[in-house]
A and B are shown apart, each in its own frame.
Chain A
Amino acid sequence: MTLQEQIRANRLRSGIVVFGFLLLLLLVAGLIGAIFNLSLGIVALAGAAIYALFALLQNRSMIARMTGAQEVDPHQIEPLRRIVENVSIAAGLPVTPEVRIVDDPAPNAFAAGLRPQSSYLGVTTGLLRTMPKRELEAVIGHEISHVRHRDTYLMTMATIFAGVIALVADIGFRMLIFGGGRSRRGGGGALVAVLAIVGLLLAPYAALLLRMSLSRRREFLADAGSAEILNDPEAMALALRRLQLDTTTVQYADASVAHLWVESPTSRVETERTGVSALSGLFDTHPPLDKRIAALEQAGGFTTPETLPAHDPFGVELGLA
């Protein structure tokens, strides 16, 4: 699949995602309408539309808040900025994305933004403290590939809509509990109410599923993209192995978006939920990471060592570690 085909396929998928979420949203609003009354459903729909619009306009800062990514003085992280610049040049991006730092001990990174021109990368201090330069470049290459493939666009859309649906379902559910049965219906009213409650409970998970179903294959593609940009598949495999060996858990500062979610499941889903196309599943010791390494090994014709040689992490150059 060439880059252009990849980008086009992502545009199409983005369209499908938006459509799917709109359907879900209509369903949730319909349920609210069915339990209470029709005008309330319309109000919920209008509220959701306004929220989605606001989130679209504010997506940069919204995702920054969700992940705890902070803007830093470019001079302070000059060596890191240089890496991002060089990788962007090698990827042929029209601009170099801005770099933001997440103060978190877990090694991870993400890319966000609707267009390459407005996208930025988030890098945890943990990543800088863990990775030597060569592997850090590979991770940056992975994120830059997400930007280049327009994965970030797709993921941002998916995140926003998942958030909207969770919010609307949550409000509906609360009204149900605290507002009591305000529906003055006879006969099948109880059955409708039960169905509606189940629907409202499940909607956010349906949104999450939709969102997660999108992310599997594009991680492989971003790995391949990084290997291609840097002409170094081994570096990406080494970086993945290092992440695999790392046991630090993520502690994303994401309490500020807790209201969007009904409850937070495992940390794995939590990173997925933060919405950005992070190197998701980095902390899994499960097949995915192994599979990703195996795919790179097959493409590059090398084997990754089980244990990694000690290296000076890149953070030293930035005065970290």
Chain B
Amino acid sequence: MLWLWILIGVLVVLAALAVYGYNRLVRLRNEVGVGWGNIEAQLQRRADLIPNLVESVRGYAAHERGVFDEVTEARTALQQAGSPANAAQADAGLTTALGKLFAVAEAYPDLKASENFSQLQDELTDTEDKISAARRYYNATVMSFNTAIQSFPWVLFARALGFREREFFSAEGDTAAPQVSFATST
């Protein structure tokens, strides 16, 4: 009789642990989802700024077609990117293309002086800061989620329960947890 009670007690404790652990995984996965939503919102905001920016530069430097095409292509690539790693790659590509666009803009003092252009530039910088902020949060949530499903005992059941490891939002060459230097972002 005593053994029966001990067995029941052990089973109850195990069941409680299983419920707690499962709920924790669900919570962590939802946090990853929220983090990814934040990044997507900021990426979308960045993409939305591009057409206006291209138009305002085109007004002064219509012949620099190659640069405009490159920026537009990079924007399309970003909007079509599916996975976090692809999106990070496309985002880095857009940054490169925009660098060229701003290099072109350098040659036109009138353009640089225009209020519209400087406002767009300002908003773009702000969006880039926000993307890097959202990335830090997202990568932190991915880190906790992945660690949780790679740890014993969940490593045994996670796949069967539909928990898959998530990708970090980082382009090739980035480290998983990017060191963001705030000294240079001022």
Question: Which positions in A face B, CB cutoff 8 Å?
Answer: 2, 4, 82, 85-87, 89-92, 132-134, 137, 228-232, 235
User: Could you say which of B4-12, B97-105, B132-140, B149-157 contacts chain A?
Assistant: B132-140
Instruction: Tell me how far the C-beta of A269 lies from the nearest C-beta in chain B, rounded to whole angstroms.
Output: 34
Q: Are A89 and B180 in contact (CB under 8 A)?
A: no
Most B CB contacts (10 A, CB to CB) among A89, A228, A230 go to A89
CA A85 – CA B126 in complex, angstroms? 10
Q: Are B144 and A86 in contact (CB under 8 A)?
A: no
From B31, B140, B186, A133 is in contact (CB under 8 Å) with: B186
Task: Show 6 residue pairs from A and B whose CB-CB distance is below 8 angstroms, ordered by the A residue.
Answer: A89-B42, A90-B136, A92-B31, A133-B186, A230-B180, A231-B178
Q: Are B177 and A231 in contact (CB under 8 A)?
A: yes
Q: Are A90 and B182 in contact (CB under 8 A)?
A: no
Task: Kindly count the residue-residue contacts between A and B in the assembled complex, taking CB atoms under 8 Å apart.
Answer: 49
Given contacts A92-B31, A92-B141, contact A231 B133 (CB under 8 A): no
Q: Are B136 and A231 in contact (CB under 8 A)?
A: yes
Per-residue 0/1 for B38-72: is the Cβ within 8 Å of any A Cβ (1 yes, 0 no)?
10001000000000000000000000000000000
Given contacts A231-B177, A231-B179, A232-B180, contact A90 B137 (CB under 8 A): yes
B107 within 8 A of A: no
Per-residue 0/1 for B152-181: is the Cβ within 8 Å of any A Cβ (1 yes, 0 no)?
000000000000000000000000011110
Given contacts A86-B133, A90-B133, contact A137 B182 (CB under 8 A): yes
From A132, A137, A228, B140 is in contact (CB under 8 Å) with: A228
Which single residue of chain B is at the shortest CB-CB distance from A94?
B34
B129 within 8 A of A: yes
CA A92 – CA B130 in complex, angstroms? 12
Which single residue of chain A is at the shortest CB-CB distance from B39?
A89
In the A-B complex, list the 8 residue pairs whose CB atoms are closest, starting with the nearest.
Answer: A90-B133, A89-B133, A92-B137, A86-B133, A134-B182, A90-B136, A133-B186, A89-B134
Question: Per DSSP, are chain A's interface residues mostly helix, strand or loop, or mixed?
Answer: helix
Question: Per DSSP, are chain B's interface residues mostly helix, strand or loop, or mixed?
Answer: helix
Chain B: interface size category: 20 to 34
Which single residue of chain A is at the shortest CB-CB distance from B38?
A89
Instruction: Tell me how far the C-beta of B142 lies from the nearest C-beta in chain A, rounded to whole angstroms.
Output: 12
Instruction: Tell me how far the C-beta of A279 lies from the nearest C-beta in chain B, rounded to whole angstroms.
Output: 19
Instruction: Tell me how far the C-beta of B111 lies from the nearest C-beta in chain A, rounded to whole angstroms.
Output: 24
Instruction: Tell me how far the C-beta of B91 lies from the nearest C-beta in chain A, rounded to whole angstroms.
Output: 16
Interface residues of B in 105-139 (CB under 8 A from A): 126, 129-130, 133-134, 136-137
Q: Are A229 and B136 in contact (CB under 8 A)?
A: yes
Which single residue of chain B is at the shortest CB-CB distance from A135?
B182
From B38, B137, B144, A2 is in contact (CB under 8 Å) with: B144
Instruction: Tell me how far the C-beta of A84 lies from the nearest C-beta in chain B, rounded to whole angstroms.
Output: 11
Q: Are A92 and B35 in contact (CB under 8 A)?
A: yes
